Amino acid sequence: MSKHTILIKWLRINTKNKITKQTSFVHEWIFDGGIKVDASPSPFVMPELAKEDAIDPEEAFIAAISSCHMMTFLSVAEKQRFTVDSYTDEAIGTLGELENGRTAVTDVVLKPKIVFSGNNQPTSELLSKMHKLAHKHCFIANSVITKITVESD
């Protein structure tokens, strides 16, 4: 299989929030391709420590689920000889409590809007089957306990 490396960097320098005097958790994600992204706590979880223009782990998690589903779906569509012109998804994740009392992203709802072109258009039944197949083969979905639902047109 494959290994994936992410470098996470945080420095104590300038880490105190001037108002709350709390340690800042703003840090940097450096991906194996060299892309650097600022990350911070979610404004919904720690509003006083969140950085407005940074990605939080919850957003990244939901994006990973949505992105994996999309790429797997596009592969399924291509194998079935459908031409996809566009795919957009406004995924929504819910932070909630598990049965054991721990907090987790308990649910993610994917809401893909897909535009096909050409004469070969899937029926709504086939579209549903394609999403189920994409979900079954999505690496990220197979890696998490989060309930993932697809609401498709």
Q: For 26-60, what is each residue's pLDDT tens digit?
A: 899 999 989 999 999 999 888 888 888 999 999 99
pLDDT digits (tens, 9 = 90+) for 113-135: 999 999 999 999 999 999 999 99
Phi, psi of 32 (to 5 degrees): -60, -20
- Please tell me the CATH code under which domain 57-150 is placed: 3.30.300.20
In the chain, residues under CATH classification 3.30.300.20 are 57-150
Other CB atoms within a 10 A radius of the CB of residue 27 amount to 17
Contact 32, 4 (CB under 8 A): yes
Helices (H), 29-104: 57-79
φ, ψ of residue 88 in degrees (nearest 5): -125, 150
Edge-to-edge strands, sheet with 36-39: 6-9, 27-31, 36-39
Mean per-residue pLDDT, 53-73 = 97
Determine the pLDDT at residue 46: 87
Specify the pTM. 0.89
